[in-house]
Amino acid sequence: MKLNKTKIFVDGQEGTTGLEINERLLKRNDVELLKIDPEKRKDAVERAKYLNEADIVFLCLPDDAARESVSFIHNPSTRVIDASTAHRTAGDWVYGIPELSAEHRENIGNAKRVSNPGCFATGFAMLIYPLVREGIIPVDYPVTCHSVTGYSGGGKTLIQRFNAEENAEKLNSPCFYALGLNHKHLPEMQKHSGLSQPPIFTPIVSKYYRGMVVAIPLHIHTAKLLNSFYSDYYKGQPFVKVMPMDFETEWGYLTAESCNNTNNIEILTFGNDTQTLLAARFDNLGKGASGAAIQNMNVMLGVDETYGLI
């Protein structure tokens, strides 16, 4: 008996996230990838045809183009996973981090529209949401967050900029950016962590391709107690690795690339009896983008959440 395959269309399959989603899906035998003619990928009529033919659509597009694609969908059976920023704080879209709670996972499983989280926001929410939910920090706690990421997170434009010979000296050191404290992930970081005000967020991009660390210092609680709390909170989550307090860093350095090419996210706590540094380490193109999208698809389809992921 021939099994019915889930029809998948990746709108924006030429971008960094779209390419990785395609690569992951090509290894599966339970899906059928719908492929648009590259010359017609900006043709509205042709896109609409594929958008409405698919069971699940991945949107890997700029925000305005993602909104346009959603407006083309009239098939009530078509389900959407949007990797853009466009719908991450929209009330009628489900936010796609299933590990945050049983309610999050159930809502994703039942959803027609899922917004794939931003890479920075993934680490931030997975560190802060449990603390706010359980009353360990108040909703008005003044959170500061720093993060370092590889340049692939900026898409093709930033990749080309970092790889250009003429920029070798300009971009040779880690670079702070979003210096106006207005990074586009801030709205979702606040909303989906449960905070009443946005954090101060200072991202840093560095001269390596992929991998990131999101770090948050706290002036309350001990590192040991918080490590135990996260171990209990994320128990049984296949992609969440709460690292032990005696975790050995590389010569005292916390590198950003250890989870690359996986969908894992490591939760780490450092510090002493009065101050704690929380850290989340993961692949910005894995758990921070394409891996998270495939994980959300698995939840929506009701298949093994780890299927097709490392």
Of residues 119, 145, 175, 259, which has the active-site annotation? 119
The full 3-state SS of the chain, as one line of letters, equals: CCCCCEEEEEECCCCHHHHHHHHHHCCCCCEEEECCCHHHCCCHHHHHHHHHHCCEEEECCCHHHHHHHHHHCCCCCCEEEECCCCCCCCCCCEECCHHHCHHHHHHHHHCCEEECCCHHHHHHHHHHHHHHHCCCCCCCCCCEEEEEEEHHHHHHHHHHHHHCHHHCCCCCCCEECCCCCCCCCHHHHHHCCCCCCCCEEEEEEECCCCCEEEEEEECCCCHHHHHHHHHHHCCCCCCEEECCCCCCCECCECCCCCCCCCCCEEEEEEECCCCEEEEEEECCCHHHHHHHHHHHHHHHHCCCCCCCCC
Residue 68 CA to residue 66 CA, distance in Å, equals: 5
User: Cα dihedral sign for 60, 63, 67, 69?
Assistant: negative
Gap between the Cα atoms of 72 and 135, Å rounded? 42
Structure tokens at 150: 């590889």
d(CA 292, CA 118): 10
Distance CA 81, CA 228 (A): 33
Clarify whether 145 is annotated catalytic: no
**Active-site residue set:** 119
